Amino acid sequence: MNKIPVILDTDIGLDVDDVWALAFLLCCPEVDIRLIVTDTGDTTYSAAIVCKLLDLAGRSDIPVGIGIPLTTTAKTHLAWLGDYTVSDYTGEVITDGVGAMINEINNSPEVVKIISIGPVPNLAHALQRDPTIVNNSHFVGMHGSLKSGYLGAPKPHREYNVFAYAQAAQRVFEADWSKTITPLDTCGLVSIQGENFIALTQSSQPLVKAVMDNHFEWAKVVDEKMTGKIDLQSQSSTLYDTVAVHLAFSEAYLGMQDLGVRVTDSGRTLIDNKAKQVRCAMLWQDKTAFEDYVTQRLLAGPVKI
């Protein structure tokens, strides 16, 4: 199998769905994870979470880049992280995560998929430092809200990964590179429930155990605004980011459309025929099958090199 080279750019450390997404990525044999970079917030704290998860998964071969630290966000994974720091990582930690991203793209003999599951200041800065990265990369993002909003709302919302740093998002969406996104229209509907959730809570597989420990610790410290008033003792939160991971190598389960997408100054994402084309996951062909598939991959454990 020819594996797809990927870079993950993540704001892990606030919403627990980034933990689920990273674990899912580690369980996907279709990809070759070249680099993981943390973005926004305290990016060193975020990098420590990534490093600990990689150590637990036996994947310390993957370098971790520290991205640009920006507005402080809540550190909702401190209990799970404990006294672990980036200096404990048995692999490589790169202080200039954006530079590492640029180098990885430019040195790759194949096109690199950049899986973006957070706000995009790292990527906007990378484009500013080296605009030519668009020639050897493909942006795959969990971004926007086009026809429906959070929790299936009938009208689109301003989506966090876009409006948090709207100017950066504008730069990314206006860049002349290939782009694929899962907006809230699809990613905002995904969760693990029922027998799948029970199977994960009962698993002794170390990476799954880390995901579930993070889930339950996170549930203790977040408010209903973030969880949507769901029962986190019997199901996951909304797993937005897992869909972006999946789209890096497959469009199965999803209905895709090529649309012009424009980011407004206030951080809305609008369909605009004059804007740059984006491949958008607009509806589910089989959401239940996708949730089963994510569960089974997690239970199978991380791919070993």
- In this structure, is residue 100 part of a structural domain? yes
Q: Any idea what the CATH number is for the domain that residue 43 is in?
A: 3.90.245.10
- In this structure, is residue 217 part of a structural domain? yes
pTM value > 0.95: yes
- In this structure, is residue 284 part of a structural domain? yes
**pLDDT at site 305:** 78
Helix, coil or strand: residue 108: coil
Distance CA 160, CA 193 (A): 24
- In this structure, is residue 305 part of a structural domain? no
- In this structure, is residue 112 part of a structural domain? yes
**pLDDT at site 223:** 66
- In this structure, is residue 61 part of a structural domain? yes
State the residue range of the domain holding 296: 4-300
Into how many domains does the chain fold? 1
- In this structure, is residue 13 part of a structural domain? yes
User: Digits of tens for pLDDT over the chain (305 positions)?
Assistant: 799 999 999 999 999 999 999 999 999 999 999 999 999 999 999 999 999 999 999 999 999 999 999 977 889 999 999 999 999 999 999 999 999 999 999 999 999 999 999 999 999 999 999 999 999 999 999 999 999 999 889 999 999 999 999 999 999 999 999 999 999 999 999 999 999 999 999 999 999 999 999 999 999 988 655 666 788 999 999 999 999 999 999 999 999 999 999 999 999 999 999 999 999 999 999 999 999 999 999 999 999 87
- In this structure, is residue 242 part of a structural domain? yes
